[in-house]
Amino acid sequence: MPIDIKDIARAVDAAAVMEPFAARPRLLALGEPTHGEDTLLEVRNELFRQLVAHGDYRTIAIESDCLAGLLVDAYVTSGAGSLDEVMERGFSHGFGASAANRELVRWMRAFNEGRPAPERLRFAGIDGPLEMAGAASPRQALTALHDHLARHVDAELLPCTAHTLDRLLGADDRWTEPAAMTDPARSTGRSAEARELRLLADDLVALLEEQTPHLIAATSREDLDRARLYGRTATGLLRYHRRMADTSAARMTRLVGERGRMMADNLLALAARGPVLVHAHNAHLQREKSAMRMGGRPLEWWSAGALVSARLGTEYAFLATALGTIRHRGVDAPPPDTLEGLLYALPDDRCVVDARRLAASLGDAPAPAPRVSPWFGYAPLDPAHLATIDGVVFIRDLPEVPATAAPESPGTPSGRV
């Protein structure tokens, strides 16, 4: 007898989300199909609170600058800075303007107050210091890595001095030149200085790993993890800038692929210290190849989720979020023959469905038609991906807001993933 979708739809809570898994996933990834909608973040916040209360999840990681995220983590763990400061400087892509993100940070700080370090909640960004218009200078990550090593290892082991790094890096606006994203000739990524910096960054990372026992004894594992983050970010940024200077037809594919790799490396590092709830665009977390159009050209790449899943296997879980309507963006009720249309017929405003049981419920019926969004900022769920998704979180209707009350976040085009 075919399964009725109503019988497998559950309220969105920690128990329902964890139901399909035989063991707790080390990385529980919750995707979103669009950015800039606080309702999606409110669902994420409530799920994280429940996972904290009923499980041993203590870290939340979001699609934001990994270095800026250190400011948020310092605030929620120790109260360093102020809430206003970390919302302004601790998020990229304009995400600090979100009321839901602010509430998440406020709640985490309140939860941690007075608790011993092992019980505190942690915050992390998984993205590189990247925006749609370009990438940051590698200065912050590279100099922080060098400074850490210079304080704790013999000077003769260092491959260069801080002065040499400063000379090779030059002015930061060489790296952040806005025109470089569309004109490879404006990028400094293949200059002689950039090539030398890539070699030095590799040597610094190698030295960090060679000195691991000494560094843990002299500092702490926490300090070592942070130095490794600096190393990953420095080498990743230098690779990204090299791709920006590429003139081949593969340039944009390599850029989005490099971003995915940076995210994956950060996720794997976080997974090593305990279970994590991850929140990012569906396209960054899915196991299938991701695809988008940029500059009129189709791009395909293996996302962070695909890369991490290949490494962690069943310790990685992916819940994709799908939406019924975003009326203030012109996205009206989905056609009934689409996957969203089937879910829209359910009586619940919000639910979570085991994706494999959802696929089984379709039986021998024709496969759902792919939904086409009239707004480029919303990516409908591809029904062909059901077999590689663990669960679907469905939100029937996003609240309507006047267009004047929903401006695009600075530096965050609505179509970014």
Q: What is the 3-state secondary structure (H, E, C) of the chain?
A: CCCCHHHHEECCCHHHHHCCCCCCCCEEEEEECCCCCHHHHHHHHHHHHHHHHHCCCCEEEEEEECCCHHHHHHHHHHCCCCHHHHHHHCCCCCHHHCHHHHHHHHHHHHHHCCCCHHHCCEEEEEECCEECCEECCCHHHHHHHHHHHHHHCCHHHCCCCHHHHHHHHCCHHHCCCHHHHCCHHHCCCCCHHHHHHHHHHHHHHHHHHHCHHHHHHHCCHHHHHHHHHHHHHHHHHHHHHHHHCCCCCCHHHHHHHHHHHHHHHHHHHHHCCCCEEEEEEHHHHCCCCEEEEECCEEEEECCHHHHHHHHHHHHEEEEEEEEEEEHHHCECCCCCCEHHHHHHCCCCCEEEEEHHHHHHHCCCCCCCECCCCCCCCCCCCCHHHHHHCCEEEEEEECCCCCHHHCCCCCCCCCCCC
pLDDT at 412: 36
Strand partners, 123: 60
Cβ proximity of 131 and 409 under 8 Å:
no
Q: What are phi and psi of 407, to 5 degrees?
A: -70, 155
pLDDT at 128: 98
What average pLDDT does this structure show over 378-391? 96
Angstrom distance (rounded) from CA 323 to CA 32: 9
Q: How confident is the model at residue 406 (pLDDT cuts 50, 70, 90)?
A: very low
> Does pLDDT of 297 surpass 90?
no
> Does pLDDT of 337 surpass 60?
yes
> Does pLDDT of 16 surpass 60?
yes
pLDDT at 403: 42
What average pLDDT does this structure show over 331-352? 96
Angstrom distance (rounded) from CA 223 to CA 221: 5
Q: Is 60 strand, coil or helix?
A: strand
pLDDT at 404: 34
pLDDT digits (tens, 9 = 90+) for 60-109: 999 999 999 999 999 999 999 999 999 999 999 999 999 999 999 999 99
Cβ proximity of 66 and 233 under 8 Å:
yes
pLDDT at 293: 83
Q: How far is CA 107 from CA 30, 110, 329, 343, 388, in A?
A: 19, 5, 30, 32, 33
Residue percentage of the chain with pLDDT more than 90:
89
pLDDT at 325: 98
> Does pLDDT of 415 surpass 60?
no
Q: Please, where are the H alpha helices in 276-354? A: 282-285, 304-312, 339-344
The single-letter DSSP state of residue 2 is P
Q: Is 297 strand, coil or helix?
A: strand
> Does pLDDT of 268 surpass 70?
yes
What average pLDDT does this structure show over 372-392? 96
pLDDT digits (tens, 9 = 90+) for 147-198: 999 999 999 999 999 999 999 999 999 999 999 999 999 999 999 999 999 9
Angstrom distance (rounded) from CA 343 to CA 215: 53
> Does pLDDT of 411 surpass 60?
no
pTM for this structure? Answer: 0.95
pLDDT at 2: 59
In terms of pLDDT, which residue wins out, 414 or 276?
A: 276
User: What is the pairing mode between strands 130-131 and 59-65?
Assistant: unpaired
pLDDT digits (tens, 9 = 90+) for 198-231: 999 999 999 999 999 999 999 999 999 999 999 9
Least confident of 259-273, 282-296, 339-353, 403-417: 403-417
Run of H or E residues at 325: strand 316-325
> Does pLDDT of 348 surpass 50?
yes
Residues with Cβ within 8 Å of residue 176, at least 6 apart in sequence: 134, 135, 136, 137
pLDDT at 400: 81
What average pLDDT does this structure show over 234-253? 96
**Secondary structure string (H, E, C) spanning 229-272:** HHHHHHHHHHHHHHHHCCCCCCHHHHHHHHHHHHHHHHHHHHHC
pLDDT at 231: 98
> Does pLDDT of 350 surpass 70?
yes
Q: Please, where are the H alpha helices in 3-57? A: 5-8, 14-18, 38-54
Angstrom distance (rounded) from CA 159 to CA 161: 7
pLDDT digits (tens, 9 = 90+) for 104-126: 999 999 999 999 999 999 999 99
Least confident of 37-46, 93-102, 317-326, 360-369: 360-369
Q: How confident is the model at residue 416 (pLDDT cuts 50, 70, 90)?
A: low
Pick the closest to residue 277 from 318, 225, 229, 232 (CA basis): 318
